[in-house]
């Protein structure tokens, strides 16, 4: 496990659940050089590393006594067997502490046989010299978009209960989806510092069809200016305690109620931050953070709707580290998509949303390692 030093993101979602890799040929006899991969984005560095876990499994063998019942014969027999499973573990660091991340890799993952580190994301270029100097390894850069889609396809096909629908007012808030071989086509909204939108039609057929500069980095940056809070997860905590209606102008603030002929309810946001120009009135950090989170989440949700409609797609997955399993964000995006598409498009979230790129880079290394 990594040290608790500065730079390791210790939010409730920072040590995401490891995943059990399927028993594919590419994961057998992995060389140590391909046992980890790194994805360096605009704000965060994501690391995936491989290990094997040994555990005992109870095997039950039953006996058929239908032909002749013999008193004292056992009905079943239990034996314990050792099994080894391959697992992939995840951790993230803020880019301000990239050297702490590299120290973790050097202390825990690199040995004398390690020669190469698989890297993707913009930081694979930006920090290439630092990585090679610090780790004494050659940086093998992989295309960011290819790794992202490869990682997404992999988790959708192989990881049970990876994708889920969020329903705030349902008996079960999280409705997990079963894995299915038929995952195409779909739209992937990857929310990092900015937003990139990908149409995915097959394993090898995909394209970036759009994007926006208003993403996770916008929430972090504007949130820091408004609240003087510099940590992303602290901003989310503030937002969870806020009341956006103190800052946002609603439909009922303008019309005195709903606008029925246009199908607009009174509680719908008419203008984000619309009340903030009120003279001689102070606004709490919590309320401003909540308003900002709603504004950006609604914008991303509407953008996702437009691209889903444009490309005639009904499955929309959200990746990147903006959401982080935060209920307000997921509810706002889900509400936005349901509102603008009248329920025709489904918003689907991912348990390993922020690690798709590093999973893809890891898989590229595993595939290379399995070649004769």
Residue 258: domain span: 250-276
**Residues 319, 222 within the same domain:** yes
Per DSSP, 244 falls in state: G
Q: What is the per-residue pLDDT for 81?
A: 79
List the strands of the sheet with 44-62, edge to edge.
19-20, 76-94, 44-62, 36-40, 116-120, 138-141
Which domain CATH number covers 29? Answer: 3.30.420.510
The answer to whether position 9 is within a domain reads no
Pairing status of strand 163-166 against strand 174-176 = antiparallel
**Residues 179, 267 within the same domain:** no
Give the whole-angstrom CA distance, residue 324 versus residue 355: 11
How many Cβ atoms are within 10 Å of 355's Cβ, its own excluded? 26
Give the whole-angstrom CA distance, residue 161 versus residue 352: 11
The candidate with the shortest Cα–Cα distance to 369, out of 129, 110, 136, 140, is 140
Contacts of 350 by beta carbon, 8 Å cutoff, 6+ apart: 152, 155, 162, 163, 164, 317, 318, 319, 356
How many Cβ atoms are within 10 Å of 267's Cβ, its own excluded? 10
Q: What is the per-residue pLDDT for 11?
A: 40
Asked if 92 and 354 count as a contact pair (C-beta separation under 8 A), the reply is yes
Q: What is the per-residue pLDDT for 78?
A: 79
Q: What is the per-residue pLDDT for 20?
A: 87
The answer to whether position 319 is within a domain reads yes
pLDDT in tens, the chain (372 residues): 333 333 444 343 343 578 988 877 677 656 554 589 999 999 999 999 988 877 677 777 776 655 555 566 667 777 777 777 788 999 999 999 999 999 999 998 998 888 999 999 999 999 999 999 999 999 999 999 999 999 999 999 999 999 999 998 878 889 999 998 899 999 999 999 999 999 999 999 999 999 999 999 999 999 999 999 999 999 999 999 999 999 999 999 999 999 999 989 999 999 999 999 989 899 999 999 999 999 999 999 999 999 999 999 999 999 999 999 999 999 999 999 999 999 999 999 999 999 999 999 999 999 987 776
Give the whole-angstrom CA distance, residue 175 versus residue 167: 8
The answer to whether position 98 is within a domain reads yes
320: left (phi > 0), else alpha (psi -120 to 50), else beta?
left
**Residues 122, 233 within the same domain:** no
Asked if 278 and 247 count as a contact pair (C-beta separation under 8 A), the reply is no
123: left (phi > 0), else alpha (psi -120 to 50), else beta?
alpha
The answer to whether position 256 is within a domain reads yes
**Residues 40, 94 within the same domain:** yes
Q: What is the per-residue pLDDT for 5?
A: 38
Q: What is the per-residue pLDDT for 9?
A: 45
For the chain, the first-to-last Cα distance in angstroms comes to 33
Q: How many domains does the chain have?
A: 3
The answer to whether position 148 is within a domain reads yes
The answer to whether position 307 is within a domain reads yes
**Per-residue pLDDT tens digits for 190-248:** 999 999 999 999 999 999 999 999 999 999 999 999 999 999 999 999 999 999 999 99
**Residues 344, 206 within the same domain:** yes
The answer to whether position 6 is within a domain reads no
**Residues 118, 256 within the same domain:** no
**Residues 114, 221 within the same domain:** no
Give the whole-angstrom CA distance, residue 319 versus residue 152: 8
Give the whole-angstrom CA distance, residue 286 versus residue 198: 33
**Residues 327, 198 within the same domain:** yes
HEC states along 311-346? CCCCEEEEECCCCCCCHHHHHHHHHHHHHHHCCCCE
**Residues 147, 190 within the same domain:** no
The answer to whether position 69 is within a domain reads no
Q: What is the per-residue pLDDT for 180?
A: 86
Which domain CATH number covers 167? Answer: 3.30.420.40
**Residues 358, 333 within the same domain:** no
**Residues 128, 151 within the same domain:** yes
**Residues 87, 166 within the same domain:** no
């Amino acid at each position: 496990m990594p040290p608790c030093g500065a730079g390791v993101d210790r939010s409730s979602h920072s040590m995401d659940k490891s995943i059990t890799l399927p028993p594919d040929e590419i994961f057998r006899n992995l060389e140590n050089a391909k046992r980890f991969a790194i994805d360096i984005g605009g704000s965060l560095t994501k690391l995936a590393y491989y290990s094997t876990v040994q555990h005992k499994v109870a095997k039950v063998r039953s006996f058929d006594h239908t032909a002749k019942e013999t008193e004292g014969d056992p009905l079943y027999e239990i034996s314990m067997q050792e099994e080894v499973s391959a697992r992939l573990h995840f951790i993230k660091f803020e880019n301000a502490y990239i050297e702490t991340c590299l120290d973790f890799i050097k202390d825990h993952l690199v040995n004398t046989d390690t020669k190469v580190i698989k890297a993707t994301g913009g930081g694979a270029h930006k920090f290439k010299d630092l990585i090679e100097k610090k780790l004494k390894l050659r940086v093998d850069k992989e295309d960011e978009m290819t790794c992202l889609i490869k990682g997404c396809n992999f988790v959708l096909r192989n990881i049970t209960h990876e994708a889920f629908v969020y329903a705030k007012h349902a008996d079960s808030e999280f409705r997990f989806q079963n894995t299915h071989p038929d995952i195409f086509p779909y739209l992937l909204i990857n929310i990092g510092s900015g937003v990139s939108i990908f149409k995915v039609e097959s394993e090898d057929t995909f394209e970036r069809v759009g994007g926006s500069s208003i993403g996770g980095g916008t929430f972090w940056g504007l949130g820091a200016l408004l609240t003087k809070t510099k940590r992303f997860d602290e901003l989310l905590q503030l937002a969870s305690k806020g009341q956006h209606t103190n800052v946002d102008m609603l439909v009922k603030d303008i019309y005195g109620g709903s606008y029925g002929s246009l199908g607009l309810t009174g509680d719908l946001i008419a203008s984000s931050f619309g009340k903030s120009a009120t003279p001689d009135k102070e606004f709490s950090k919590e309320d401003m953070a909540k308003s900002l989170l709603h504004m950006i989440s609604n914008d991303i949700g509407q953008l996702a709707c437009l691209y889903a409609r444009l490309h005639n797609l009904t499955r929309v997955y959200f990746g990147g580290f903006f959401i982080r399993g935060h209920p307000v964000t997921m509810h706002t995006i889900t509400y936005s998509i349901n509102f603008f598409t009248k329920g025709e498009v489904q918003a689907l979230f991912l348990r390993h949303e922020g690690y798709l790129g590093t999973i893809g880079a890891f898989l590229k290394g595993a595939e290379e390692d399995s070649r004769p």
